[in-house]
Structure 1
Amino acid sequence: MTKIKFGTDGWRAIIARDYTVDNVKRVAEATAIWLKNQSATQVVIGHDCRFGGEMFAETATGIMGAYGLKVFLAKGFVSTPMVSLGVVKTGSDLGIVITASHNPPSYNGFKLKSRLGGPTIPSDVAAVEAEIPEVCSVEPMDLETMEAKGLLEYTDLENIYIEHIKDSFDMDAIRSYGNRIAYDAMYGAGMNAMRALLPDANFLHAEYNPSFMGQAPEPIHRNLTELSEFIAKHDHIALGIANDGDADRIGMYDSSGNFVDSHHILLLLLLYQRKYRNMDGKVVITFSVTEKMKKMARLFGLPVEVTPIGFKYIAEIMAREDVIVGGEESGGLAVKGHIPERDGIYIAFIILEFMAKTGKSIEELIQEVYDMVGPFAYDRDDVHVAEERKQEIIKVCKTEPYKKFGSYKVDSVETIDGFKFIIGDDRWLLIRPSGTEPVLRVYAQAPDLAETRQLLDAARAELGI
């Protein structure tokens, strides 16, 4: 028997090794049992572009039917936010997404979405995990039988989502950009919706290809060099947008093909929501997000909460409090006025509307941010180290924290999730171990990219990695 363990955002495993039809049945049965214990009646199920997505989604659907639960099943691939929004729009109790998000193409996964349209809270995920049987005790109900019994309704989640986007933004203003937008779908589930919403944009990697051409569909610069080069070669492009495999994360580029990281996008979102849309609410960020968010929040008179790393912590706060902007360093961003969910397409449209309403370029808007909080740059190294060495470094961080990194003197240390060394003057280093692989993550912020690299190199020299 394969031991199935849910991570921070659901269960993920390698297809045909551990991610099999039989194991999907087990997880689906556990989910169905948990739902019945909650007196739930309805579930939304969808899959992204990964290999076997339709088969695995239909397997989960059949198990729900065996337990008498009604399923709203997406036809064709959909993004994670489409399922999350579908849960809200159909008044369902849970969403299931067959996706491994930004993981390599050999993976698939099983995400759970709450009735609020965001990640299921950790205690509920743990309760589902506790129900996973050694072997599934029921056979999936035939889908035609389910449909005949009123337990299955095929639902166009993508169209529901597209109409929601149209209702949420000034589409005439956004579409005036025409072919000045470049979009890299990374072979992911956002491709069809973006074609419908921005028909004149320039599209890259927007074909169905479950192999993702062998690359993990994560929207970070090293995976998006083709988009960057395309923008640099075409002077008319004003903005580059990229989404991950299930389109809940975003990467962005300015008109010169320079990467705009999540820290800068978060600051732009807060500026637009507060100054231009006149919204209130708490700012919620994970521990690895730039300190500049705290500075802008203070300037706007807004409260800030810092969470451990993981969007689930942000979603949990959004479920019970008024949050104007929430986000994490890895591209998962959320805003007031939408579901409490990471949504790469929705965030792209906020930035596009911001540009359209102000008549400013992305560079000019970033300068407006800098005028408020000062310029900065950020970078991160994921260093492969032996597990023994990784643990040695963490032990030093815990017991005798590093006092300096090269010429950089440490002023203080914060330990919400990892070890953040505050170096003053808008500089910091964060050392954090991966919980699943022999990798040490080293994050840094400094006034410019050259010094950020210098700070990372100094840290790695001090750590001996």
Structure 2
Amino acid sequence: MDKIKFGTDGWRAIIADTYTTNNVARVSYATAQWVKENYETPRIVIGHDCRFGGALFMETAIKVFIKEGVQVIKADGFVSTPMISLAANRYECGIGVVITASHNPPSYNGYKLKASFGGPLIPEKVAEVEAIIPDEMPYDYKEVSLEGLSEDQLRTADLETEYVDHVKANFDIDAIKNSGLNLAYDAMYGAGQNVLKRIFPDMHFLHCDYNPSFMGQAPEPIAKNLQELEAFIKERGDIDSALATDGDADRIGLYNKEGEFVDSHHIILLLIHYLVKHKGMTGEVITAFSCTPKIEKLAHHYGLTSTTTKIGFKYIAGLMTERDVLLGGEESGGIATKGHIPERDGIWMGMIIWEYMAKSGKSLNELIDEVYELVGPFKFERSDLHITEELKQSIIANCKENKYASFGEYKVTDIQTIDGFKFFLDNGGWVMIRPSGTEPVLRVYAEGKDLDEVRQMLRVTEKEIL
């Protein structure tokens, strides 16, 4: 019996190792029980992304839901996580299930739970589901037939079209089309691959076809994974901006005209600047612990409250349902804004940025310079260390015991420990050390005044801890 644990964002495991149809059935059994206990009309919407075995694992879950008397709405074809979250809200479902391992390597698959409000199920509720996962299935789910079912039991919905229509209704598509902007999109072979083709068919597209192997690369939209996109922008010389999204299209990666990666800290700052200054919107700003303190500075400039949460969008989403929130965001590229569902959505965030560029007539760099005038310039990078569990635990123990008073030439002036260890340094920057919640990785983050300084900060930090 495999112990199934939900991490920062769902349950993830290696396909055919612990990610098996039997274990998917066990999680689905618990999901069905939870929905039946909490909803008078138990209803679940489910879909899968472009990963290997998605349709098979979805069918396994559906068989269990049907056996348990839960109404099921299944996505027609592969879908992104935001499509399922939107549908969970629109179809008044107790739960939305996405068969996805998001940005993890291609050998993984996973199981995300979405709430009826259209965002991640909050941690306390996930824990309730996790607590009732049975050690063994009480029946043979393979014998359940999906033939001859009524529409009330099982129906198919075109969630991609519903999502595309939702995007078209909320953005000035004509302004973007008529702006003269030359745009590109890299889907990383992920589930967002058709959306922008349907809205901007003349745009430049990379990796927008079905390939469950993702060419052997984790579909995470960070600079080291987007070398082809960077090269494409530099070779062409006429691309104004490029967007990338991860395997389930809830995370954003962004590039400027020069082929330079624009990290999530800068994206969040741009979004706040546009939504408040140009669209007159207000609300609280909620960001995860690994985000730049400059977000708080910009929020303060605009008279907005800012809050810091633990890492994991589920902590942000819960607050977005309770409070008047303008933006919720994470360093890893997951951002949500008012006027949409409380869910990370890479395409939606890209559309806001492109609309901002179109309406202002300014380049991404010019817009970033506007933000720098308010908060000061900075650069950021993250290093993912694939080390042994033993070494990882010893580093975390050293952090807990305050063993790091400096990293190379940089003295530690303050430490915050909301989720991980954030060391503020005497150069005005910071480094942070934290184990990943979904992968066997230790993450090291750094922010400084320019890239040379940031890379030096990462080098000396890694030397000190390793």
Same fold (TM over 0.5): yes
**Quick one: distance in 1 between partners of 2:122 and 2:436?**
22
Q: Does 1:52 pair with 2:41?
A: no
> What residue is the counterpart of 2:463 in the other structure?
461
> What residue is the counterpart of 1:237 in the other structure?
239
> What residue is the counterpart of 1:121 in the other structure?
122
Q: Once the 2 structures are TM-superposed, how far is the Cα of residue 355 of structure 1 from its aligned partner?
A: 0.6
Quickly say closer, same or farther: Cα 1:291–1:38, change in 2 above 3 A: same
Equivalent position amino acid for 1:145 in 2: G
> What residue is the counterpart of 2:314 in the other structure?
312
SS of 2:29's equivalent? helix
Q: Is 2:27–2:133's contact at 8 Å kept on the other side of the alignment?
A: yes
**Quick one: distance in 2 between partners of 1:112 and 1:435?**
16
Equivalent position amino acid for 1:144 in 2: E
Q: Is 1:183–1:202's contact at 8 Å kept on the other side of the alignment?
A: yes
Q: Is 2:7–2:438's contact at 8 Å kept on the other side of the alignment?
A: no
> What residue is the counterpart of 1:144 in the other structure?
147
> What residue is the counterpart of 1:159 in the other structure?
161
Q: Is 1:219–1:251's contact at 8 Å kept on the other side of the alignment?
A: yes
Q: Once the 2 structures are TM-superposed, how far is the Cα of residue 153 of structure 1 from its aligned partner?
A: 1.4
Q: After TM superposition, where is structure 1 displaced by more than 6 Å over at least 4 residues in a row?
A: none
Q: Once the 2 structures are TM-superposed, how far is the Cα of residue 177 of structure 1 from its aligned partner?
A: 5.1
Q: Once the 2 structures are TM-superposed, how far is the Cα of residue 425 of structure 1 from its aligned partner?
A: 5.3
SS of 1:279's equivalent? coil
Equivalent position amino acid for 2:458 in 1: L
Equivalent position amino acid for 2:147 in 1: E
**Quick one: distance in 2 between partners of 1:169 and 1:436?**
34
Identity of aligned residues (%): 56
SS of 2:396's equivalent? helix
Quickly say closer, same or farther: Cα 1:74–1:386, change in 2 above 3 A: closer
The equivalences for 1:226-305 within 5 A come to 226-305=228-307
Q: Is 2:380–2:447's contact at 8 Å kept on the other side of the alignment?
A: yes
Deviates more, 1:254-263 or 1:22-31: 22-31
SS of 1:455's equivalent? helix
Q: Once the 2 structures are TM-superposed, how far is the Cα of residue 358 of structure 1 from its aligned partner?
A: 0.8
Q: Is 1:179–1:202's contact at 8 Å kept on the other side of the alignment?
A: no
Quickly say closer, same or farther: Cα 1:200–1:80, change in 2 above 3 A: same
Q: Is 2:28–2:61's contact at 8 Å kept on the other side of the alignment?
A: yes
**Quick one: distance in 1 between partners of 2:178 and 2:270?**
21
Quickly say closer, same or farther: Cα 1:244–1:177, change in 2 above 3 A: farther
SS of 1:43's equivalent? strand
SS of 1:159's equivalent? helix
> What residue is the counterpart of 2:429 in the other structure?
427
**Quick one: distance in 2 between partners of 1:15 and 1:117?**
27
**Quick one: distance in 2 between partners of 1:155 and 1:116?**
19
> What residue is the counterpart of 1:101 in the other structure?
102
Q: Once the 2 structures are TM-superposed, how far is the Cα of residue 179 of structure 1 from its aligned partner?
A: 7.3
SS of 1:349's equivalent? helix
**Quick one: distance in 1 between partners of 2:117 and 2:46?**
15
**Quick one: distance in 2 between partners of 1:108 and 1:442?**
25
Q: Once the 2 structures are TM-superposed, how far is the Cα of residue 438 of structure 1 from its aligned partner?
A: 5.3
> What residue is the counterpart of 2:404 in the other structure?
402
Residues 246-280 of structure 1: CA deviation (Å, up to 9, x unaligned) = 00001000011000000100000110111111111
The equivalences for 1:338-357 within 5 A come to 338-357=340-359
Equivalent position amino acid for 2:371 in 1: V
SS of 2:163's equivalent? helix
Quickly say closer, same or farther: Cα 1:21–1:385, change in 2 above 3 A: closer
Q: Once the 2 structures are TM-superposed, how far is the Cα of residue 134 of structure 1 from its aligned partner?
A: 2.2
Q: Once the 2 structures are TM-superposed, how far is the Cα of residue 38 of structure 1 from its aligned partner?
A: 0.9
SS of 2:3's equivalent? coil
Deviates more, 1:429-438 or 1:452-461: 429-438
Deviates more, 1:34-43 or 1:358-367: 34-43
Quickly say closer, same or farther: Cα 1:320–1:3, change in 2 above 3 A: same
Quickly say closer, same or farther: Cα 1:369–1:243, change in 2 above 3 A: same
Equivalent position amino acid for 2:23 in 1: N
Q: Once the 2 structures are TM-superposed, how far is the Cα of residue 459 of structure 1 from its aligned partner?
A: 1.6
SS of 1:331's equivalent? coil
**Quick one: distance in 1 between partners of 2:261 and 2:4?**
37
Quickly say closer, same or farther: Cα 1:436–1:205, change in 2 above 3 A: closer
Q: Once the 2 structures are TM-superposed, how far is the Cα of residue 385 of structure 1 from its aligned partner?
A: 3.1
SS of 2:418's equivalent? coil
Deviates more, 1:327-336 or 1:85-94: 85-94
Residues 160-208 of structure 1: CA deviation (Å, up to 9, x unaligned) = 1000000000010122357711111100000111110111111111110
Deviates more, 1:303-312 or 1:436-445: 436-445
Equivalent position amino acid for 2:11 in 1: W
Q: Is 1:118–1:315's contact at 8 Å kept on the other side of the alignment?
A: yes
> What residue is the counterpart of 1:189 in the other structure?
191
Q: Is 1:118–1:341's contact at 8 Å kept on the other side of the alignment?
A: yes
SS of 1:410's equivalent? strand
**Quick one: distance in 2 between partners of 1:218 and 1:63?**
31
Q: Is 1:179–1:200's contact at 8 Å kept on the other side of the alignment?
A: no
Quickly say closer, same or farther: Cα 1:368–1:47, change in 2 above 3 A: same
> What residue is the counterpart of 1:76 in the other structure?
77
Equivalent position amino acid for 1:9 in 2: D
Residues 77-122 of structure 1: CA deviation (Å, up to 9, x unaligned) = 0100001001111122210111111111111111110000000011
Deviates more, 1:118-127 or 1:425-434: 425-434
**Quick one: distance in 1 between partners of 2:353 and 2:426?**
31
The equivalences for 1:124-135 within 5 A come to 124-135=125-136
Q: Is 1:178–1:201's contact at 8 Å kept on the other side of the alignment?
A: no
Q: Once the 2 structures are TM-superposed, how far is the Cα of residue 403 of structure 1 from its aligned partner?
A: 2.1
**Quick one: distance in 2 between partners of 1:289 and 1:385?**
24
**Quick one: distance in 1 between partners of 2:437 and 2:342?**
25
Q: Once the 2 structures are TM-superposed, how far is the Cα of residue 436 of structure 1 from its aligned partner?
A: 6.1
> What residue is the counterpart of 2:8 in the other structure?
8
Q: Is 2:410–2:426's contact at 8 Å kept on the other side of the alignment?
A: no
Q: Is 1:178–1:200's contact at 8 Å kept on the other side of the alignment?
A: no
Q: Is 1:390–1:438's contact at 8 Å kept on the other side of the alignment?
A: no
Q: Once the 2 structures are TM-superposed, how far is the Cα of residue 388 of structure 1 from its aligned partner?
A: 3.2
Equivalent position amino acid for 2:252 in 1: I
**Quick one: distance in 1 between partners of 2:327 and 2:18?**
37
Q: Once the 2 structures are TM-superposed, how far is the Cα of residue 2 of structure 1 from its aligned partner?
A: 1.9
Q: Is 2:181–2:240's contact at 8 Å kept on the other side of the alignment?
A: no
Q: Is 1:333–1:341's contact at 8 Å kept on the other side of the alignment?
A: yes
The number of equivalent residue pairs is 463
**Quick one: distance in 1 between partners of 2:417 and 2:28?**
37
> What residue is the counterpart of 1:22 in the other structure?
22
Q: Once the 2 structures are TM-superposed, how far is the Cα of residue 390 of structure 1 from its aligned partner?
A: 2.8
> What residue is the counterpart of 2:415 in the other structure?
413
